[in-house]
Every structure is written in structure tokens, then in C-alpha cells.
Amino acid sequence: MDIKLAVLIDGDNIPSAYVKEMMEEIAKYGNPTIKRIYGDWTKPHLSKWKNMLLENAITPIQQYGYTTGKNATDSAMIIDAMDILYSEKVDGFCLVSSDSDFTRLATRLREAGMKVYGIGEKKTPNPFIVACDKFIYIEILKQQDSENESESVDTSKKGKDNVDKITPKEIRFIATTIEDVADDDGWAFLGDVGGLLQKKQPNFDSRNYGYQKLTPLIKSIPNFEIERREGSKGRTKLIYVRIKEVKPKGKKR
């Protein structure tokens, strides 16, 4: 059963061009029963949102900027979030913003037992990212939509157009996580690895590196090996991963 989500969007911080992909992504995690976007709708730069809001049934909340240099939109979102929390009508929140001002809100919602998803641009400060259960970069959603338009794209070519390159730092991060959940033979169930990667680093997403799923990402890294095993019922294939053993090179005579 899908969890009920409250989607709160900071209209001043998110480009309207991403709405379609963003709502499709949110639907993967739950049913967005409350959808609100906050901003000063008297300002011309928010006019692009109009058609998007109608198409996606998002309710605009008017918030005037009362003073210069103060973000009234943030305050309105935070107040509404707490009202929704105490109404007990949802099981989780999706906070759409690239603003670190929502860090404390995300933390407070999680303390109350809410699942918190964050969506924002890659410029989002790390404190807000780690305050969420999962954080998705909005740029990869647009890239994903472009790739889906051409199903003939070779998976091996996707790596060339990665948003981020896989560095030794990421490889070490994955390796230590595999070790954390591995059995005595070094094998770890990939589902457990993926879950722990997410807990350690909420913005870890295989799509950041050009891969739709974790399995092809792991396959692309020569440091790891994958094994497919029969499930308990014989139908489901379970995927396990381990760090490749480095064989010592023979001495030259």
C-alpha cells in the first residue's frame, strides 16, 4: 500500500520545467495526497508555473515578501508542514527546494516518524541533503526523461554522458558498505547494500552516474563481482555482490 505524501514545493527555488518528471518520481515513493507550491504569485518570474500547476493539480499558496532580504516563502512552508504533521493525514513529506533553510524542518519531521524525501538542484547544501531519508537531484530526472525518448541507446554508451564520474572515493564508499553487510565469504545481498548506501548517504543514486539501477552501476566497476542466485521459491533471482580478490602477481625470474 502506498504511503500518503505531502508534497511542498518552494516555487522560488525550483525551475518549473522539471515539474512533470518530478511528480513522476514522487509517485514511485507514495501517493501525493497534498500538493502545494509556495511563492509570491504577483512576481513575473513565477508566471511559467501556471499551466504546470493546472496539469498536475498542485495548489498555489500566495505568500507576499513582506520585507526585503527575508524569505517569507520558507516560513509559510514550514508552518504548513507542521500543521500537516499534527493533522496526521500523511505518512511522509516530499520537500522540494535547494534551500538549506529546510534542514531543521526535515530533521523535525523525521523525529516525528515521518519519511522525508528531498528533491533539489545539485547546488543544494549538504546539511539539507543528509537531513532527508532520500535526496534526489532534479537534474537527473530531466536527463532520464531525455534518455527514455530513445530506447535504442546502448547501455555501454550511457557512462560517457554521466552526470558525475565514478571516482575512487565512490568506489571505496561502495566497498566499505559491501563489507558492512557481507557474509563470511564476502558476499552481500545487493538489496541490503543499496539500502545501507541510502542510509549512509541520502543523495546516493545510481542515476547520478548514468545508470538507471544499482546493478548495472556495480557491474561497470571492475573492483566488484556479481552473482545471481535462485530465490527460495525458485522463480526470483537474487543478486549478490562482493569485492574482487586481488591476486598477487607472480615474481619475475
The mean pLDDT of 121-144, rounded to a whole number, is: 90
Grid coordinates representing 229 are 542466485
pLDDT of residue 159: 40
CATH 3.40.640.10 at 153-243, yes or no: no
SS3 content of the chain, % helix, strand, coil (to 5): 45, 20, 35
Q: The pTM is what?
A: 0.82
Kindly indicate the confidence band of residue 150, based on its pLDDT and cuts at 50, 70 and 90. very low
Element (H, E) at 104: helix 103-111
% of the chain surpassing 70 pLDDT: 83
How high is the pLDDT of residue 7? 96
Please tell me the predicted confidence (pLDDT) of residue 114: 96
- Rg of the chain (C-alpha set): 21
Per-residue pLDDT, 220: 92
CA distance linking residue 31 with residue 243, whole number of Å: 38
Q: Which CATH code of 3.40.120.10, 3.40.50.970, 1.10.3720.10, 3.40.50.1010 fits the domain covering 4-147?
A: 3.40.50.1010
**Bigger pLDDT: 248 or 183?**
183
Is the pLDDT reported for residue 236 higher than 60?
yes
The b-or-e profile of 25-57 (16+ CB within 10 A means b, else e) is bbeebbebebbbbbbbbeeeebeebeebbeebe
Domain residues of the chain, as ranges?
Answer: 4-147, 153-243
- Work out the pLDDT band at 146, boundaries 50, 70, 90: low
Q: Does residue 140 surpass a pLDDT of 70?
A: yes
Could you give the percent of the chain with pLDDT greater than 90?
57
